[in-house]
Amino acid sequence: MSRVLKASGFVALTVQMLWGLAQVGLRMPGGPSLPGATVGAHAHFGVLSILAVVTGYAVADVGLTGWMRSVAVWGFVAGQWLLPATIIVGELAFPPLMVTAFLWGALLAVSMALVAWGVISQEAAAAGRTGGVAPADD
């Protein structure tokens, strides 16, 4: 399942880069000005895409299982794609849609909280073990 999250991140980064190239082409001298929503959504999409890749590796590393893993992965995928889409559609075509940005933001926050819980509980479990300290240990 973390493969879904990593793939979503890399596909989204590809889309984001193509989107950026199109924006640069449109912004060339003499080109039309772009709505601020498309620039802001592009930036959000890029950051969320990078976080999707990193989170995909973290979900696998911390060993989240069951419903926690499902919510962490699918909540992030939904938020990653739907938050920037909401910004664009809400600003340019259908403003009442903007209220759903809170839902997508909440999904992202819950996903991060679950991964954080996985890291914290993994650290707590590791604290009870005896063994040597490696240079990479925090």
Q: Residue 99: inside a domain, yes or no? A: yes
pLDDT 10s per residue in the chain (138 long)? Answer: 678 889 999 999 999 888 888 888 777 777 677 777 787 788 888 899 999 999 999 998 888 889 999 999 999 999 999 998 998 888 888 989 999 999 999 999 999 999 999 988 886 666 555 555 555 544
Contact 43, 19 (CB under 8 A): no
Nearest to 43 by CA among 79, 7, 17: 17
Q: Residue 135: inside a domain, yes or no? A: no
CATH number assigned to the domain comprising residue 37:
1.20.120
What is the per-residue pLDDT for 92?
A: 84
Which residue range forms the structural domain that includes residue 121?
Answer: 2-125
Element (H, E) at 4: helix 2-26
What is the per-residue pLDDT for 22?
A: 84
Q: Residue 138: inside a domain, yes or no? A: no
Tokens in use for 98? 């903007």
How many domains is the chain built from? 1
**Cβ neighbours of residue 46 under 8 Å, at least 6 residues apart?**
13, 16, 20
Q: Residue 131: inside a domain, yes or no? A: no
Q: Residue 107: inside a domain, yes or no? A: yes
Nearest to 92 by CA among 20, 34, 45: 34
Q: Residue 38: inside a domain, yes or no? A: yes
